[in-house]
Structure 1
């Protein structure tokens, strides 16, 4: 929890200091009230006391009470403001941290868990600051000073209050010891709820197509029941706290007056008034001690979940990314777009088997290099190493004769236009999505956007939309077809005018005619750009300058389409499954 406070801004620290000062003032005012009660008690029972004296003393006590109330209101407002500011900074910090994560860190935490940590967990920390800050500072001070005030008044009364305090401490420690593990489990189960909900909503078409609603409901019900049971158990444990406090308060109050009656009855007549006044003061301070513990009960209700949530937030914030930023940002390199893959092997984190083994090839500036192979042969994995979604396990990858690990990530990414297997669009417009490929910073002209769309064969369908390039795009592009999303995604990469274009099976949703037209447009518009294409269709890559055939993570063949038909059996079998005998015969002549 303390680590989270480092995200407070300078003005927030000033607010925090002001809040602490007001809380200390409030405690001082609260502890003064019993002294005025003692004076009023003495005045009421002293013969000849004037009403004006009693009224004056009562008025002062009332003003002090109002001052305490005013301080409490101001502290509540400032604490809420402070909590909201900390929540905002923590959310921003987590969002920025996740942006720097490689796929290894994202997969380690999982997307549903990162969402929970960014929302629910931060909300728990924020609630603790808003409600618990005042209690955290006020309660211990109030209890300690009140105990000091009554110490030595009467050993009988002191022993009674001490017994009550020991009873409350035992109850609180037991409750916290039992509750904290359950609250940790609750947050983990909340991750499960998010995961199942996200899966069901993302795959709603598949769920309905297979009539799997009951199956998904059963999964959700099981996770929901586990969450409810753990929540109920933790809440039931906490429910013992309030009755214990009420029992202690009632017992101590009754005990003080019972002992007081015995002490007064045994005291000399001239001392009875003083003892009675002491009893009133002692009772007031004893009640303030119990009130302090009642306030702390709020703290102990919030603390278990808040501490677990703070730890989960810190796990994200203090995770060191495995992919570190390099220092090279120089754009004035001699070559532009040259890629060298040297003896690269790769295995996923914590995996035993290598996905790629000893891969080597070179893509010269302006060349088109294609990758083909059976499912699971490592095609996508290989090209994902170039923009450093993962780092190689062995070997090295050079761009323009510089190891990709030595590049500043922004400089490296600025060299690359990337089109993933699954087209990802963002809520906004066609224009904002195409411009996103230009870093989303510098606006590009409408004519450049249309040019990029024309290359991607998307201009025609965009012009038919009601608002053209300003037409609305829903989150993830759900209001567009698969082919339309792919074409906008391709246009986004083209509009960036990068040195390197990477297409990770990015033509799969396009028909053969559109596929051919897109490749023609790319060849014409990006003639000086190095292009890497992962594809399943032989027709998509047969015109590539170099085709690399992968099989079980190894290079099975490198060459042109015609060369591989003659020299690589694996490539020939793939081509044979997609081309007619006549086409194969023509190509192999």
Structure 2
């Protein structure tokens, strides 16, 4: 894809053949019809006689105009359909790619930049294909046909007209390269600005609570200024191309007018032939002007294409694998280590076993790697070394769909999607429409969420707002627990599930969690030791290493830092 990235990308997508053929045939027919108009005009002018008007010829010209309009409209729509279809499929390909990229990609890239790639960059490609490309094809055929006719009509005047071609090429080539560089920078800055806007508006409460309006205004103004400067550079190129093309066209028209006038005066050319020649010149001039726009747009599209290809070439998460019921199987960590790139190891030589149906808790100082353990279990990341297995089967051998649908995850921030409570309860299920209201109310009741849901006028169809902002933290948490009940996971993971709640909400949520944990293999991350004192096993993690394992009482007796934590929190 390195040599001609744009065309390779376009041709890699299934192009609808029937509309393409209709569009191309229509374009050719339109061109031939258009090329006949100057010849018919010549016949009208040279054979004009006010006493004997050729009605048939006039009707023929009108018919030609009408046929050209109809065929041109059909071919334009067909080619536009092809372009829109290509862009639709390109966006679908990119969207699927984004969904299947590993979490590691999103750790390093702003989501707003990805949004810009799928919206802004594909829009540039769309404009080229749907607007400029059909004009380019039409123009190529028109120019070739017109030049052939003009050479037959008068080769001397045609060669005189073609003298301008090398000059136009010499001007457009360097400007096109400059446009490619500017467009690449403009697209990068657009993506950067989109990312900044999305991040700021997505955390609007943090911004306002921090009184950071002035900071964000300054940062936004800087990004907007960069876009402004890139826009000016692009405008300078267009400002040079437009007048230069106009100047060349006018010079050619003046030269042809002058030379043609001399030829008419000495009788070597008829008036009708001169008019036909000028009409053909106009037919050539318009496409050449559109060519300038096409090639500058092509340079922009190449810049956008490179970014799109960079994304499409990224490795996706491997989703294929075995289907396996993990009920009554133990989870094993065997000498697992993990690090992000070349950074210091986040987890080092970690080994433990989670027996089926047991509750295992993780605690220790912040930043020790507890949440990373959950990320490894979810297969958001793969261990740098070591092995994670369920029973005697490595979890990497399992299909992601089979593995993740058997896991339940309740986190501290209880993420929610914009939509209704119903949408969030059934989010990700294969056939959400098959879930009855009775089933939803049952899991809501099990999560102690049914009472507050019934207080809403729309109940299950209540809109929760972006990221669930219309619900309280406790309400979001109980929705998350109800969602886990609906999925009936084999392994339940809870990451600080009650850490951000007030005491009343915590008590309700803790009851719901206790109900959810019954009979399930449960992994819990907690800073509050009161929530894990009854765990079957507690694993104490410091700086990515396990420094203590046992029950609450065993760690009180054997682990100094755990005992210090317990004395601070439980006495």
TM-score of the two chains, using structure 2 as the length reference? 0.91
Residue 293 of structure 1: aligned partner: 288
TM-aligned CA distance change 1:275 to 1:226, over 3 Å: same
Contact between 2:330 and 2:356, CA under 8 Å: does it hold in 1? yes
Residue 283 of structure 1: aligned partner: 278
Between the aligned partners of 1:438 and 1:543, the Cα distance in structure 2 is 33
Contact between 2:364 and 2:527, CA under 8 Å: does it hold in 1? yes
Task: Identify the range of structure 1 (494-503 vs 135-144) with the bigger mean alpha-carbon deviation.
Answer: 135-144
Give 1:329's match in structure 2, choosing from 313, 319, 323: 323
Contact between 1:337 and 1:499, CA under 8 Å: does it hold in 2? no
TM-aligned CA distance change 1:352 to 1:96, over 3 Å: same
Contact between 2:143 and 2:287, CA under 8 Å: does it hold in 1? yes
Secondary structure of the corresponding residue to residue 385 of structure 1: helix
Residue 235 of structure 1: aligned partner: 235
Alpha-carbon distance, 1:108 to partner: 4.1
Residue 67 of structure 1: aligned partner: 67
Residue 7 of structure 2: aligned partner: 2
Alpha-carbon distance, 1:277 to partner: 5.2
Task: Identify the range of structure 1 (339-348 vs 85-94) with the bigger mean alpha-carbon deviation.
Answer: 85-94
Residue 345 of structure 1: aligned partner: 337
Alpha-carbon distance, 1:339 to partner: 0.9
Alpha-carbon distance, 1:386 to partner: 0.9
Alpha-carbon distance, 1:537 to partner: 1.1
Residue 584 of structure 1: aligned partner: none
What pairs up with 1:257-272 in 2 under 5 angstroms? 257-263=257-263, 272=267
TM-aligned CA distance change 1:562 to 1:343, over 3 Å: same
Between the aligned partners of 2:21 and 2:43, the Cα distance in structure 1 is 34
Task: Identify the range of structure 1 (510-519 vs 14-23) with the bigger mean alpha-carbon deviation.
Answer: 510-519
Per-residue CA deviation, residues 30-55 of structure 1 (Å, 9 max, x unaligned), is: 222222233334324xxx998344x4
Secondary structure of the corresponding residue to residue 353 of structure 1: coil
Per-residue CA deviation, residues 228-266 of structure 1 (Å, 9 max, x unaligned), is: 11012102211222222222221111101222344456x
TM-score of the two chains, using structure 1 as the length reference? 0.89
Contact between 1:558 and 1:564, CA under 8 Å: does it hold in 2? yes
Q: Unpaired segments of 5 or more residues in structure 2?
A: 1-5
Between the aligned partners of 2:261 and 2:434, the Cα distance in structure 1 is 85
What pairs up with 1:27-176 in 2 under 5 angstroms? 27-44=31-48, 51-53=52-54, 55-151=55-151, 156-176=156-176
TM-aligned CA distance change 1:415 to 1:337, over 3 Å: farther
Secondary structure of the corresponding residue to residue 426 of structure 2: helix
Q: CA RMSD in A?
A: 2.6
Give 1:16's match in structure 2, choosing from 14, 20, 25: 20
Aligned length, in residue pairs: 566
Secondary structure of the corresponding residue to residue 472 of structure 1: coil
Residue 360 of structure 2: aligned partner: 369
Alpha-carbon distance, 1:358 to partner: 0.8
TM-aligned CA distance change 1:240 to 1:133, over 3 Å: same
TM-aligned CA distance change 1:52 to 1:521, over 3 Å: closer
Task: Identify the range of structure 1 (69-78 vs 412-421) with the bigger mean alpha-carbon deviation.
Answer: 69-78
Is 2:310 aligned against 1:315? yes
Residue 3 of structure 2: aligned partner: none
TM-aligned CA distance change 1:511 to 1:480, over 3 Å: same
Between the aligned partners of 1:398 and 1:552, the Cα distance in structure 2 is 23
Q: Unpaired segments of 5 or more residues in structure 1?
A: 581-589
Secondary structure of the corresponding residue to residue 348 of structure 2: strand
Per-residue CA deviation, residues 177-223 of structure 1 (Å, 9 max, x unaligned), is: 11121111111111222222222222222322332211110100010
Contact between 1:336 and 1:365, CA under 8 Å: does it hold in 2? yes
